[in-house]
């Protein structure tokens, strides 16, 4: 049997390489790491216990993950998204809110422009850290597909985070007037 | 008034500024929806809504979402149950167009204390060794961010109680105190108005102080026994604390760990000629003795 040889044109090869590269780029950009909001942590003067550098890095990353999950949960009415990053009061409240907004046919889109976290209290036994977050958020509220309202402003939050088996969780997330600080 | 080009320009400029102001969302909202800037958690209130006919009212809060049809041009009641969680609320009323406003709900009066006392066991007479942290919450478990004074009442067993007042910052009050010289339980109670939370820790003896042993030989066997082991404040170290005896003789070096029983540590060595023996408990070294098979030197 005669063996036939297939010839690939250089143009086809270039197109294939381009498609592959685009897919890699798309996968990379769709990963949670790529879409995490910017979080900057300032822990100067933290009391009664100073923070270790690794703990600070972990907290900033997991707070960013928590906001990423929160934004998805509020936009797509998926309360399951907050299971990984939230516990306690924060989780209970968000779960209830998502359930009620789903029932009402609402959803909220958060365009996250970043967070400036200031650690203000870290308990000696390492079981609780309180932080103040100055976040720049654009919050769009929809009823179905109808845009009801857009708020583009600075938001202040008092945050309580506690460590779990392998990560830090948001235990309390309370928005406050920026005049509070 | 005579119409001049200057007057016409001034009127145009004034109307333009007014039109721009009306287009600003904050200004328009303020005109349409008058909401209080801050509301206490669990307190309902009433707002008036301009317009006529039917509209849709939305309230979006930290844990609660309301959507209902309302009659425009009247009062709108926000129920106390709608504003229990502290945080920012968004209120939207839609008729032919939508208007919105935001308001903050702040925590009500303190009703709960979440109190942590650390550690559970602490050596006596150790500076800054006891930490107390109290988080102040209202009846809906909102963190109370306005400064409140928490009274920490410290009652050591068999000693005089002391009290220390600490003001909260961002809802948290914390303090650090020294442990007292005597072992036993210490109760610390955090008090705020009528709310009280008590925790107990145990003060235990610190490191051994003046550790001494004696030896009695019988043939080639040495029986070692310490004096009652106490810390520098006179508190007996608890049974189970490990004491190490180390012997050096012709056979080499040998260390044996033994727990304190009934306040003293005992052990027995076989000797190969004269032996040098020392005793230690934790970081504290005791006396050193040399014994021979025929008796103590």
**Each residue's pLDDT tens digit, B261-296:** 999 999 999 989 999 999 999 999 999 999 988 644
Closest Cβ opposite residue B64 in set A96, A108, A132:
A96
Tell me the C-alpha distance between B221 and B295, whole Å. 10
Contact residues, B window 91-150, toward A, CB-based 8 Å cutoff: 92, 94, 98, 100, 102, 104, 106, 116, 118-119, 131, 133, 135, 141-143, 145
How many residues would you count in chain A?
A: 181
Contact B56/A at CB under 8 A:
yes
Higher pLDDT: A2 or B253? It is B253
Tell me the C-alpha distance between B157 and A53, whole Å. 40
Q: What is the 3-state secondary structure (H, E, C) of chain B?
A: CCCCHHHHHHHHHHHHHHHHHHHCHHHHHHHHECCCCEEECCCCEEEEECCCCEEEEEEECCCCEEEEEEECCCEEEECHHHHCCCEEEEEEEECCCEEEEEEEEECCCEEEEEEEEECCEEECCCCCCEEEEEEEEECCCCECCCCCEEEEEEEECCCCCEEEEEECECCEEEEEECCCCCCEEEEEEEEECCEEEEEEEEEECCCECCCCEEEEEECCEEEEEECCCEECCCCECCCCCEEEEEEEECCEEEEEEEECECCECEEEEECCCCEEEEEEECCEEEEEEEEECCEEC
The H-or-E segment that residue A28 falls in is helix A10-30
Q: Give pLDDT tens digits for B70-107.
A: 988 888 999 999 999 999 999 999 988 899 999 999 99
Spell out which residues of chain A touch residue B145, defining contact as CB-CB under 8 Å: 158, 174, 176, 180
- Contact between B116 and A48 using a beta-carbon 8 Å cutoff: no
Q: Give pLDDT tens digits for A33-89.
A: 558 999 999 999 898 999 999 999 999 999 999 999 999 999 998 888 899 999 999
Contact B87/A at CB under 8 A:
yes
Q: Which of A117, A174, A21, A7 is nearest to B171 (CA)?
A: A174
In the prediction, which pLDDT does A2 show?
Answer: 42
Q: Mean pLDDT across chain A, nearest whole number?
A: 84
Predicted confidence (pLDDT) at residue B28 exceeds the cutoff of 60: no
Q: Average the pLDDT over A83-102 and give the result.
A: 95
Q: Tokens 């197109």 — which residue?
A: A15
Q: Give pLDDT tens digits for B176-220.
A: 999 988 899 999 999 999 999 999 999 999 999 999 999 998 888
Predicted confidence (pLDDT) at residue A4 exceeds the cutoff of 80: no
Q: Say which DSSP state A86 is in.
A: B
Spell out which residues of chain B touch residue A132, defining contact as CB-CB under 8 Å: 170
Q: Global pTM?
A: 0.77
Q: How confident is the model at residue A181 (pLDDT cuts 50, 70, 90)?
A: low
Q: Which of B195, B63, B62 is nearest to B135 (CA)?
A: B195
The pairing of beta strand B242-249 with beta strand B252-259: antiparallel
Q: Say which DSSP state A33 is in.
A: T
CA atoms within 13 A of residue B173's CA, in its CB half-sphere: 23
Predicted confidence (pLDDT) at residue A29 exceeds the cutoff of 70: no
Tokens read off for B249: 């003789």
- Contact between A89 and B171 using a beta-carbon 8 Å cutoff: no
In the prediction, which pLDDT does B52 show?
Answer: 85
Chain B residue with CA closest to A160: the answer is B143
Predicted confidence (pLDDT) at residue B137 exceeds the cutoff of 70: yes
Predicted confidence (pLDDT) at residue A25 exceeds the cutoff of 60: no
Cβ neighbours around B185 below 10 Å, total: 12
Tell me the C-alpha distance between B5 and B225, whole Å. 113
Spell out which residues of chain A touch residue B172, defining contact as CB-CB under 8 Å: 121, 130
Contact between B226 and B265 (Cβ < 8 Å): yes
Which of B65, B69, B83, B166 to mutate against chain A (most A CBs within 10 Å)? B65
Q: How confident is the model at residue B8 (pLDDT cuts 50, 70, 90)?
A: low
Q: Give pLDDT tens digits for B208-229.
A: 999 999 999 888 899 999 999 9
In the prediction, which pLDDT does A15 show?
Answer: 47
Contact B45/A at CB under 8 A:
no
Mapped onto helix, strand or coil, the DSSP state of residue A98 is helix
How far does A142 lie from chain B, in Å, by closest CA?
11
Spell out which residues of chain A touch residue B176, defining contact as CB-CB under 8 Å: 48, 124
Angle between helix B25-32 and B5-23 (nearest 10): 80
Q: Which residues pair with A107 in a beta bridge?
A: A142
How far does B193 lie from chain A, in Å, by closest CA?
23
A vs B, Cβ pairs < 8 A, gives 110
Q: Mean pLDDT across chain B, nearest whole number?
A: 88
């Amino acid at each position: 049997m005669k063996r036939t040889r297939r010839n690939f044109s250089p143009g086809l090869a270039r197109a294939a390489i381009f498609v592959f590269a685009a897919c890699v780029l798309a996968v990379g950009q769709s990963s949670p790491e790529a879409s995490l909001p910017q979080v900057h942590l300032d822990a100067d003067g933290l009391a009664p216990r100073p923070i270790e550098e690794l703990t600070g890095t972990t907290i900033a990353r997991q707070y960013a993950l928590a906001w990423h999950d929160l934004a998805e949960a509020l936009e797509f009415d998926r309360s399951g998204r907050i299971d990984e990053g939230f516990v306690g009061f924060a989780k209970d409240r968000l779960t209830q809110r998502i359930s009620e907004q789903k029932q009402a046919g609402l959803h909220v889109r958060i365009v996250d422009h970043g967070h400036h976290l200031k650690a203000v209290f870290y308990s000696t036994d390492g079981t609780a850290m309180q932080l103040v977050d100055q976040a720049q958020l654009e919050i769009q509220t929809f009823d179905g597909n109808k845009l009801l309202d857009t708020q583009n402003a600075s938001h202040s939050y008092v945050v309580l985070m506690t460590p779990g088996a392998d990560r830090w969780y948001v235990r309390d997330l309370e928005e406050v007037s920026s005049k509070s600080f | 008034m005579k119409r001049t080009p200057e007057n016409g320009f001034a009127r145009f400029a004034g109307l333009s500024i007014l039109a721009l102001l009306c287009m600003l969302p904050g200004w328009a909202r303020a005109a349409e929806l008058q909401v209080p800037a801050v509301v206490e958690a669990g307190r309902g209130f009433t707002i008036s809504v301009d317009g006529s006919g039917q509209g849709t009212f939305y309230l979006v809060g930290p844990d609660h979402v309301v959507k209902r049809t309302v009659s425009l041009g009247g009062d709108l009641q926000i129920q106390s149950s709608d504003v229990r969680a502290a945080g920012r609320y968004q209120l939207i009323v839609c008729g032919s167009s939508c208007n919105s406003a935001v308001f903050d709900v702040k925590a009500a009066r303190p009703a709960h204390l979440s109190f942590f006392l650390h550690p559970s066991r602490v050596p006596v007479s150790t500076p800054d060794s006891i930490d107390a942290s109290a988080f102040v919450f209202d009846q809906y478990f909102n963190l109370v961010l306005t400064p409140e004074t928490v009274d920490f009442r410290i009652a050591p067993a068999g000693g005089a109680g002391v009290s220390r007042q600490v003001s909260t910052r961002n809802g948290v009050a914390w303090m650090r105190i020294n442990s007292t010289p005597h072992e036993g339980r210490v109760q610390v109670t955090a008090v705020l108005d009528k709310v009280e939370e008590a925790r107990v820790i145990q003060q235990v003896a610190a490191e051994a102080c003046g550790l001494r042993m004696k030896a009695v030989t019988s043939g080639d066997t040495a029986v070692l026994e310490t004096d009652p082991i106490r810390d520098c404040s006179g508190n007996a170290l608890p049974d189970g604390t490990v004491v190490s005896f180390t012997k050096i003789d012709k056979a080499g070096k040998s260390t044996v760990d033994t727990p304190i029983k009934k306040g003293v540590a005992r052990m027995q060595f076989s000797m190969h000629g004269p032996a040098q023996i020392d005793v230690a408990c934790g970081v504290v070294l005791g006396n050193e003795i040399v014994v021979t098979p025929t008796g103590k030197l």
